[in-house]
Amino acid sequence: MKKRILLTASRFFPSSYGGGEMYILSLAQELAVRGYEVRVVTLAPWQEPGSKSFARSNFVYQGVSVAALSFNPAATTEGEKYAVNHPLLRGALKDAITEFAPDIIHINGINSAALMVAAELRLPTVTTIHHSGIACTAGALVRPDHSLCRYPADPSVCVPCCSLYRSPHWWTGGLLGKSPSWFYRYFGKKVDSVRRLPYLLRVLRYPWLVEQTIEQMHIVWKYSERFIVPSLAMKELLLRNGVEEGRIRVIPHGIQPTQRTELTFDGKRKIRFGYVGQFSFVKGIHLIVQALERLEHAEQCELHLFGAVQSKEEESYFFPLMKNYTGAAKIIQHGYQSGVELQKAYSSIDVLLCPSLANEAFGLVVSEALAAGRPVIVSRSGALPELVKDGEYGYVVGRNRPDELSDAMQRCVESPELILAMAQRIPLMKTIHQYGDEIEGVYQTSFVGTDNR
């Protein structure tokens, strides 16, 4: 009988896209090629009319079986939404898992709820960490002053930080972050089930919601049998939060094989810088814009953006950024690309830019660009420096330093032969097939005792 692998995801195609979603899709397809039965269980936005509390849709996406769970926002409290762990969710997860009857649950999202259900069903688990949200209620370990957080997740640290994120003034977020724990705990529990709270009361409840999220993190740290992390940066994050080193295995992600295309310059065309990914503040597109505005002879280069706005927050960040840009380099937007289109996108640029502010868990777009034979310029943030040998096949610049980013870009504009030389030194990237060998080895230790299931 084929072994069955169930992958959980907080978000998945087609309702969402990103590095985590691409990882799960690639892994699911690779496992299927190896003869496993695979299913992805994910959360999806609520789009059902009427008063029912839950909906489930089953479909196939690029050959992968998917069960998408949607929950009516009116059926859960605000605390349950923040915690992503409530009876309705656990019940739906249990039904989906029981129906599929997996040999192992590979957790990539819906973490604490999936772990609780797996424990109830006595199923083995392995948890892959895809981003810093495993230890950051704000999601990226970026503090209000744009520095990286270096502390373990704890209400004493996270409540003041997240409160300032919510409202960046001392008389609002500053004071809110100093709320005594006895007050916000009592108040949060008291009003959690109340619908349509006035704005002020919603704000006063916020510290309690942050604490609820941290409690779910502790469940993951404590009950995950094994962790797979894609970088030393993520291993350090787990160690910082009390996870024993013996439960952590570092396995950098593999990617789909990509055809390398040759770079050529005829001395006439412009240098093509590229950005691939989400249009959010923590990804640092504003740093690219600032670097372009500093660039000498910027008219000799172009910036190609591959991606799309996905939220109101991204709208308020990205559109004014483009509107107020004053540099001489042309900025060209191509929209979201996937599959063959994305491979063509990498081949159409000369250098990938990834100046992220976030404590990146890996850097999938960096690996993909390198696999396509394109040098990269990355920030010294999270795992990104682990992927690039500075000066060999790319540059590592200071985090949140548009001046250093501009200097690196300037070298490329002035000397295209440097780009060609770096491209020739790019090593082969790990493929998803090689990654599958390592993941399969992790699974094998969990299959013992399941053959008689």
Of 52 and 424, which is predicted with more confidence? 424
Band of residue 47 on the pLDDT scale cut at 50, 70, 90: confident
68 and 175 housed in the same domain = no
Q: For residue 452, what pLDDT is reported?
A: 45
Mean pLDDT over 327-332 rounds to 95
Q: Which residue's structure tokens are 């489930």?
A: 56
- The CA-to-CA distance between both ends of the chain, in Å, stands at 11
Q: Which structural domain range is residue 88 located in?
A: 4-137+215-254+432-447
Of 397 and 453, which is predicted with more confidence? 397
Band of residue 338 on the pLDDT scale cut at 50, 70, 90: confident
Lowest mean pLDDT among 145-154, 189-198, 371-380, 387-396: 189-198
Among residues 247, 176, 234, the alpha carbon closest in space to that of 205 is found at: 176
186 and 41 housed in the same domain = no
Q: Is residue 260 part of a domain?
A: no
State how far the alpha carbon of 225 is from the alpha carbons of 122, 124, 351, 447, in Å.
12, 8, 40, 14
Band of residue 257 on the pLDDT scale cut at 50, 70, 90: confident
The pair of three-digit structure tokens given for residue 147, joined into one six-digit string: 């520095």
Lowest mean pLDDT among 75-84, 322-331, 442-451: 442-451
Q: For residue 50, what pLDDT is reported?
A: 74
Amino acid at 237: L
Q: Is residue 399 part of a domain?
A: yes
241 and 281 housed in the same domain = no
358 and 223 housed in the same domain = no
Torsional class of 98: left (φ above 0), alpha (ψ -120 to 50), beta (otherwise): alpha
Q: Cβ atoms within 10 A of the Cβ of 417, count?
A: 9
275 and 342 housed in the same domain = yes
Mean pLDDT over 242-257 rounds to 94
Q: Is residue 346 part of a domain?
A: yes
Question: Which of the 8 DSSP states describes residue 247?
Answer: G
The pair of three-digit structure tokens given for residue 145, joined into one six-digit string: 């002053």
Among residues 25, 10, 38, 22, the alpha carbon closest in space to that of 108 is found at: 10
Q: For residue 337, what pLDDT is reported?
A: 86
240 and 352 housed in the same domain = no
Q: For residue 74, what pLDDT is reported?
A: 86
Domain count for the chain, please give it: 3
194 and 241 housed in the same domain = no
Buried residues in 52-82 as b, exposed as e (16+ CB within 10 A): ebbbeeeeeeeebbbbbbbbeeeebebbbeb
Band of residue 1 on the pLDDT scale cut at 50, 70, 90: confident
Inter-helix orientation angle 181-191/199-223, to 10°: 100
Counted residue by residue, the chain has a size of: 453
User: 344: domain CATH number?
Assistant: 3.40.50.2000
Buried residues in 132-145 as b, exposed as e (16+ CB within 10 A): bbbbbbbbbbbbbe
Burial class (CB in 10 A: 0-12, 13-18, 19+), 211: buried
Q: Is residue 142 part of a domain?
A: no
162 and 291 housed in the same domain = no
Write out the H or E segment, with its range, that includes residue 99. Answer: helix 87-100
Q: Is residue 305 part of a domain?
A: yes
Q: Is residue 231 part of a domain?
A: yes
Q: Is residue 340 part of a domain?
A: yes
Residue 378 has pLDDT above 60, yes or no: yes
Q: For residue 448, what pLDDT is reported?
A: 54
Residues facing residue 376 across a β-bridge: 352, 394
89 and 180 housed in the same domain = no
pLDDT in tens, 135-153: 999 989 999 999 999 999 9
Write out the H or E segment, with its range, that includes residue 190. Answer: helix 181-191
Please say whether the beta carbons of 249 and 442 come within 8 A: yes
Write out the H or E segment, with its range, that includes residue 434. Answer: helix 432-447
d(CA 64, CA 33): 11
Residue 453 has pLDDT above 50, yes or no: no
What percentage of the chain carries pLDDT values higher than 70?
98
CA triplet 72, 309, 336: central angle to 5 degrees?
105
Q: Which residue's structure tokens are 């990938």?
A: 352
Q: Is residue 452 part of a domain?
A: no
344 and 401 housed in the same domain = yes
Mean pLDDT over 423-445 rounds to 94
234 and 309 housed in the same domain = no
Mean pLDDT over 263-269 rounds to 83
Q: For residue 411, what pLDDT is reported?
A: 97
Mean pLDDT over 251-271 rounds to 88
**Dihedrals φ, ψ of 269, to 5°?**
-75, 160
409 and 328 housed in the same domain = yes
Q: Which residue's structure tokens are 């060998």?
A: 437
pTM score: 0.93
Q: Which residue's structure tokens are 């696999």?
A: 371
Mean pLDDT over 253-257 rounds to 90
